[in-house]
Amino acid sequence: MSIYDYHKVRTLSGKPADLGAYEGKVLVIVNTASKCGFTPQYADLQKLYDKYKDRGLEILGFPCNQFGEQEPGSASDVQHFCEINYGVTFPLFEKTLVRGPHAHPLFRYLTEQAPFEGFDTSSASGKMLHAFLSEKLPEYLEGNDIKWNFTKFLIDREGNVVRRFESPVEPLDMEPAIEALL
């Protein structure tokens, strides 16, 4: 099995898309939101995309409104926000459920292949997110489901999940792992 087996996705404009189109590429699959404290990560995701797309990197963004309703807008609102504020040119897909019993099969697969290993609480944002979830949503810390917006999964050219990077991990900190796969 690989991520290509979970090919039924839709672009942000609602058109059917096939993850098989990305076969042979290194992928970063990320759940996103426009009104989150981690939203500025769009800028560095775009920097990674610009730097490595010619070497075979694709970044696939899946907006999600499951975490504090931080992606409330329509598809056109999301597209406009990402383009205007962060110059996003990497592919964005329709709003997707990424955790819980109704999560998209792609995200269930990703979390099975790359289980939650905790937050790096030596970073301020890791400590803050862990404290917030511990206090307000302790059930989110259980199991392998995605914990918050901007959880990133690194996929190799064969479609295998290589690594999971939690929300507080800055996209540029993933660069060595990405380069190793290119």
Could you tell me the CA-to-CA distances from 98 to 54, 76, 77, 134 in Å, in that order?
29, 20, 20, 20
CA 65 to chain centre: 13
Strands (E), 22-160: 26-32, 57-63, 152-155
Q: Is 36 a catalytic residue?
A: yes
Q: Which pair of structure tokens corresponds to residue 49? A: 């995309």
- Residue 132 CA to residue 173 CA, distance in Å, equals 23
- Cβ count near 45 (within 10 Å): 25
Measured in whole angstroms, how far is the alpha carbon of residue 171 from the centre of its chain? 10
Of 26, 36, 88, 98, which is the active-site residue?
36
Query: Contacts from 124-130 at CB under 8 Å and sequence distance 24+?
Result: 125/37, 125/38, 125/167, 125/168, 126/166, 126/168, 128/168, 129/166, 129/167, 129/168
Bridging pattern class, strands 161-165 and 26-32: unpaired
Please give the positions annotated as active site.
Answer: 36
